[in-house]
Structure 1
Amino acid sequence: MKNLFIIALTIIGLNVQAQEAKTYLIKSGYIKYQLSGSTKGTKELWWDDYGRKTCETEKSTTTTKMFGIKNTEEKHATTVIVKDKFWVADYIDNMGSKGRVPMYQEGQDIVGDMTEKEQQEFADEVLASMGGKKMGTESLNGYTCDIIKLMGVKTWIHKGLALKTEGKILGIETNEMFVEFKPKMSVSSSKFNPPSGVQFEGLAAQADAQGFGSLFGGMEDLQEEENEDEEFTPVDYPFDKFSKIVKDCNIEGYRCVNVRTMDGMHVASFMKGLNSIMVMAQSDENMGDDEEVDSFETFEHNGRTCHYGDLEEDNGSAIIVEYPSDDMIVTFMAIPKKSKNDLIKIVNRMQF
């Protein structure tokens, strides 16, 4: 059986009918930046479909000095992203890489059903959880911008688009300022084709040649692993009942951002900034043998058999509760980890 928690992470929120979230609030356009500081040069951005399609080209020279040693790095690269696919062309090394954006659909679905107000509130929560804050607003050449400070970097954002960035991290000064801005400009669809002039390799093949195959190979093959021969028995528990229970549950500080049913499993996710709680109901026939579950502590709670343990790779924890009268198990997973008592409190609030 596949790892229950990988399944939870990869299917949460999947729904092909969900409205895709907008990255930018302007449908299409073009920006050119002047780069200064440790990196000097230019960067250009074209976008369409509210940022679901982007093409970025950068030509720059970065100079750093550490322990008296000066290092200079040239960059000439183009990155094209079309929804969940990307291509990166490095014209200095004459190499190209391609792949899929990790967790793209999950991210889209988390905010896709929110109103713009709810999306803004969620963005503010994420910003605060990362230690960032809003510094107010300022007009740049007539464009009203929100000023965001995060990790020592200030960014002026106009309708989702960064018009100016300045900061210094580990002695590297980064400054970007727009010198040309054409909002609502029509952009040719050919701009979002894979860049020409280089041969593209998947991340796994390229990383393997550099000794990082296990890292990127796992990312690239994740989708393929999800589609292997493993079959799941659908849960009989009514989705309408599951949905009502989780939506009526109040977890302090969290909001329910997604409730979905797919491939015979019911899944809900709650978010508090970057912290998440996931609830997944599936048939007990799917539990089978799982090494991670086998290492969990088994105990009884309110007459039900439960299993609690830490998820080492994800810095999370989970409780699996058995519901034999419904031929069902429900997994309550928290990232970052919560104690057994904290998760039991959540279990108690959801009376399946």
Structure 2
Amino acid sequence: MKQTILILTCWMLSYASSAQQKIQQYAVKSGHVEYELSGNTTGTKSIWWDNYGSLSRTETKSVSVTKMFGMKTETKTHDILIMNGKQFWSANLIENTGQKGNLPYYQEMAKMTENMTEAEKQKMGKDLLEGLGGEIIGTENVLGNKCEVVKLMGAKCWVYKGVTLKSDAKMLGIKAMERAVKFDKNISISKSKFTPPSNITYEDQSQYQQQMFGGMDSGSFEDEDYGDDDEDMDLVPVKYPYSKFEKLANGFEYNSYRKMMVMNTNGTYSAMFMKGMSENLAVAATSRKNGNPGQMGNLESFSYKGKKCMYGKMDDDDGISLIVDISNYDTYIILVSSTEKSKSEMLSIFNEFHF
């Protein structure tokens, strides 16, 4: 039960960054793309990857020019970013400095998607895109590859099997364009390509990540003692019908929230919504046999329309939660908001789902 709540919370609070940290980033096993950069930033960028993106190297050489209040500034960049599973190394080759650490929630995201079909993954990606106000507006060929043209937040991207081959963005007077000039698919890439530069002093971000994210991606689920609510136990599938949960989540409308995704993870259901880029809401359905959420924080117990409810903060959670007991399905419906909300507002949100 504790693990379910923590996973939902990390999805909410980290969506903006974690959306770009997909476990299988590309639908092409390995490849190399070279880009030309134009607009306010000019230069080149090269990406190499293997194992569908779990191993990757991105090298950028560029010059960025900005003008503000009649003043012109120029910034030169030569950076290398190495991804190896959940680990990353970021190197600034001009200043010989860098950072290293772990990608937050990499393992949790892997667990949530490992049993999904390709169709389910595609639907999740479409839900995320639509939730951010984006849309697929057509198809075009780039370097002989049929790409989906995606429009999002003032930018257009031409995407082939997860690989962006062209992008145009204009925001606040700043233009940024990338064009692939070379694209090699399913090639053999030396393992040395994914070795971080050795002449760089890397600042370890582990302590900072521990403070920001609670160390959730460093094994804390397995190492922390939750007493009888053992994290290694198998979760009991919920009796509430997933088709009904999905329908109610898809029909939810409240105060400009946008649906990001609805998913079934081994019999525990979840849906995520966003309002703007900073306010998030998650809803989950889990079996009562998986544990009593009343033991996970200082929660107020009360009755509402004949249902047993709990309201308050979960342990170590900055957001607010409402748990509603759906006894006829032996199910807890759990709402988690990233921002403080009163009990009456959380109940209003619950009512809009029509559980």
- TM-score range relative to shorter protein: 0.7 to 0.9
The answer on 1:340 being equivalent to 2:347 is: yes
* 1:283/1:329 contact within 8 Å kept: no
Q: Which residue of 2 aligns with 1:85?
A: 87
* 2:26/2:53 contact within 8 Å kept: yes
Normalising by structure 2, we get a TM-score of 0.75
- RMSD over aligned CA atoms reads 3.7
Distance 2:352 2:227 in 1: 29
Q: Which residue of 2 aligns with 1:218?
A: 212
Q: Which residue of 2 aligns with 1:308?
A: 311
Residues 1:323 and 1:29: Cα distance change in structure 2 (over 3 Å): closer
**Aligned mate of 1:259, from 261, 265, 281:** 265
Normalising by structure 1, we get a TM-score of 0.75
Counterparts of 1:283-294 in structure 2 under 5 Å? 283-284=291-292, 287-288=294-295, 290-291=297-298, 293=299
For structure 1, the residue ranges without an aligned partner over 5 or more in a row are 13-19, 206-212, 262-266
Distance 1:272 1:114 in 2: 20
Counterparts of 1:20-169 in structure 2 under 5 Å? 22-169=24-171
| Deviation readout 1:72-101 (Å, 9 max, x if unpaired) | 111111101122111111112211111111
After TM superposition, the structure 1 stretch with the greater mean CA deviation from structure 2, 149-158 or 333-342, is: 333-342
Distance 1:232 1:101 in 2: 28
**Aligned mate of 2:240, from 236, 245, 248:** 245
Aligned residue identity for 2:229 = P
Aligned residue identity for 2:283 = I
Deviation of the 1:283 alpha carbon: 3.1
Deviation of the 1:144 alpha carbon: 0.8
Q: Which residue of 2 aligns with 1:279?
A: 285
Deviation of the 1:11 alpha carbon: 10
Distance 1:151 1:323 in 2: 39
SS at match of 1:339: helix
Deviation of the 1:32 alpha carbon: 0.5
Distance 1:322 1:275 in 2: 19
For structure 2, the residue ranges without an aligned partner over 5 or more in a row are 13-21, 251-260, 275-279
Residues 1:320 and 1:272: Cα distance change in structure 2 (over 3 Å): closer
* 2:23/2:106 contact within 8 Å kept: no
SS at match of 1:131: coil
* 2:46/2:59 contact within 8 Å kept: yes
Aligned residue identity for 1:306 = C
Deviation of the 1:303 alpha carbon: 5.7
Distance 2:121 2:7 in 1: 26
Identity of aligned residues (%): 29
* 2:104/2:216 contact within 8 Å kept: no
* 2:326/2:333 contact within 8 Å kept: no
Distance 1:331 1:217 in 2: 29
SS at match of 1:174: strand
Distance 1:177 1:160 in 2: 15
* 1:257/1:271 contact within 8 Å kept: no
Distance 2:158 2:44 in 1: 18
Deviation of the 1:117 alpha carbon: 2.5
* 2:151/2:157 contact within 8 Å kept: yes
| Deviation readout 1:103-161 (Å, 9 max, x if unpaired) | 22333344433322232222222111111111201112311111111111111111110
